Structure 1
């Protein structure tokens, strides 16, 4: 079937790909106001409680004012997620000698991402609904900053891209799991240690047929759970960075 070149090409629906609507008059609400109040609602009640109607009520605004900036809830989630990404501390390549300090810079950024996810645990659910997250300005700033760090360290741009994906995937993977756990604790009213202790009998029983897990659980049960999570995140990140450092040495060796 012939393709009609005059037909507009379809794209993935996103607030970042949709042409902005022309405003015939000065809107009473700004996009920043909408995103700020939506973030307050999400932090207070979680993603399931967010609706355009509730947001409009909180803003004392009608649907027309909201839809000037966002076409639907999906676009709203994209905007709020990018707002969260703006809280992540991104090191600049000129803040240190990245040939020697790149690991420290990457670690700081990964730890900042983890802290942001802990502050906004609802993001665990939102990421599955956030659409084209990577095109948001704050997500772009994060990617550009991390690419710069790795490139200044000696990676090629293509290698830097792979390195950023590896680090961010690790940090997001661990952080979403932790955020889900912390959210469950918050709903239960238990402290983290109380939550671990309440699960211990079931975990001990489930591990009876698995000697390695049994030994591992027994050791972990004696440790401070919050401290263990922090140490495990750092140790796991070091494993990722160790592998990247080996690749960097090969790159530098080849260049020499």
Structure 2
């Protein structure tokens, strides 16, 4: 799928995004995101942090076009996702977007190599099999290419998920708590892979509760009650912690 000309500096542009859900307990909607605006540049790693219920995962899904916004607009590669037909949006994500989730989302009946190469095969890309093998070697799983997910550890499955993104050639990677179920050592390996992936024309947007992980990013957005309360450039774990604490002490936005 060819992307029309757009400002290549910004892979994501979100303007005044709001999101609400119908409440099962009352007639009033539950507001999750409030007037959120942000941009993500090429080659950038952005981390989104905040307490549970702050709306960070919902924001990630809205930015990825997996969840429709209630108000405002989200553009991926210069295209307003709300104005795209479902199949057009699916092709855009298939060809240019990758996902790394805490649950791995691997197909149990496919080998590591088949899982890693699936997006390329679906897009009918030449060299999809070779790309999958190369990406598995890059994440240290070249010798486990024929293993089914059930025969791999959690950390290995997560690395297969990252290999799938690398093999797909995705320009934009979304990661939702990618280290949440991993031990410290494996989590560090996964973070290093994501950190290395954010370069050149590829960007990574990661939601995490781990402030040390967030500090690996180029920029950190601190979310509280669906509002961006702080933006940190060249963050450290201490500056992220201070910003999260400060956000918790501020009154929620109206």
Q: TM-score band, normalised by the shorter chain?
A: under 0.3
Query: RCO higher in 1 or 2 (8 Å CA, sep ≥ 6)?
Result: 2
TM-score, scaled relative to structure 1: 0.27
- The structure whose residues are more often helix, as a share, is 1
- The structure whose residues are more often strand, as a share, is 2
TM-score, scaled relative to structure 2: 0.27
Structure number with bigger Rg: 1
